[in-house]
A and B are shown apart, each in its own frame.
Chain A
Amino acid sequence: MISATRIKRQSAIRLFAQEYSESNLTEQGIGEYDPSFVITKLGIKVNRALFCGVIDRLEKREGDNGPSFNGQLRDPTGVNRFNVASFQPELQVEMEELFARFESGDRFLMAIVGKSRWFEGDEGGIFTSFRVEEFAVINQESYMNWLIETSDATLRRLNFYELSLGVDINKESLISSGLPPDLIDGTLLARQHYSNADTENYRLGILKALSSASGRSVEDSDDSIQDKEDIVENIANNQTDVNPADIILDTIRNHDTGTGVEYDKLVESCTLSGISRESAEDCIEDLRDVQGDIIEPRFGFFRLLDQ
């Protein structure tokens, strides 16, 4: 069927930072007005999103054409980056006000509607972000509402993602298996590109969100308290030493109980020592692929090679 349908407004996807930041598949529109998308592992094509969280970072840059702002919102699963460009004068006045509040040490909850954008590292790594369209400071009740709605939307995607695992990866099979129209194209692309998504990890994020929203607290297990103490110890030990490779090797050495140490933990140890996420990630890759000091026997878990 040959058809020409007009491009309609893209809906604002509800998703947590974790799902968005783990995405590295993108689709650039070909025509001038074609939308561009970030496609998540759970198979939703994101051109526009509604995301919320506590302001975690806000920086202002003075450019030739006026100021621009970069920031991060933190939700229970991670951070989303956002940007207000100098060519968006309609947002500048209120951003300035927020920037002043942030600089004075104030922190607050925000809701942002933004369009997907991304940067690429030299070796194909994708860093996802949003260009702000509209924003507001919100209260805790609104935030909780968003947590609940976004949990619902993410669980819906998880449900259909898991359904799609038993289905051939082609459009007809996905349609007849009952996948809703908004997930078909994205699922097709995601299943061809990503290895299987760690659905348990997404569920954990949702549980954190839902328990925050319903007023129940997630109990800290003894295990994680122990972890934090270790991290503190690490900081103490490595304060003068900022070589990421040493930190990564030390972290694995101190924490590996036989099952390996999680990727996020390695990155966290590095960032706590003032090393950027990018260089931490590069270093992990270098140690694994080039130096051969560490191995990744199971997805996302690292061990020392000589152990």
Chain B
Amino acid sequence: MFNLIKMDLYRLAHSKVTWVILIFVIGIGIFATKMTDYDIETMKQEMETGTYVDDMISGEVEPGSIAVVPDEEWASGKVEAGSMVSSQVESRILLIFITVFTVLFVNAKQKNGYIKNIAGLFPKREKLVIAEALVVAFQVLLMMITFILTILICGKVFWGEGFYMGDFSAFVKFSAVQYLLHLGFAMIMFFLCQLTRSSALSITAGMIIATGMTTIIYALINRGISGVDSLKDFDITKYVIENNITATGVASADGDMVRAFVTAAVFTVLFTGLAAFFMRKRDIR
């Protein structure tokens, strides 16, 4: 299997999609940070009439609000790196790039027929899936690190000394859990590619999940199971990947972090296993 991992790493390095996506991740990191900088500047100028998200949530909305920033401290020009990274990662923007990369990378092997050159050599075909999944995991890690580093560097450029790192261990914990959540999402895409062999279908499904259009489905599910007494208080949105990405911030409670971690682990193992199952059972076309 080590040879298969090396092969897929070679393919990763020589695939256009790998580098194009990383460039876009850098681009969106710069863009997102700059947009936040604009918001902060606007907020500073309109300090008297600005509104903070927490105040809006608590109902203490001031009339004439023209700017909203996620953190009250930011309006004073002090931006904590963890909360900045957290707000951008929670926006689920990375899921769009993960969708595009995973689908194009995984489906290329099938679409170009290259799978026929190697599938027969390895009777235990699940090795092919696991090796490829590991390489996808590596690329997702690379994307995450690139995104975070871009934000940190841009933050330092835009805000200088005002940009600081708070609780570093909390930041690392948050980053690790978010990486696993994003990996879980990548494995859902991986599985869809194996199941459907269709880039169009897989990318569409990925976009639907990434943009939160699945809310309707979850609401229906919650409504359906609320009739069962023992499941009255069950909320499925707490156990799906995309909602955990949005809900897990750098300041999240330990309980929420654990739930997010377990959700990510279950999705990663489940969907990788399903992908391996389908690869083993199906004929290679």
Do A and B associate with each other? no
Interface residues of B (CB under 8 A from A): none
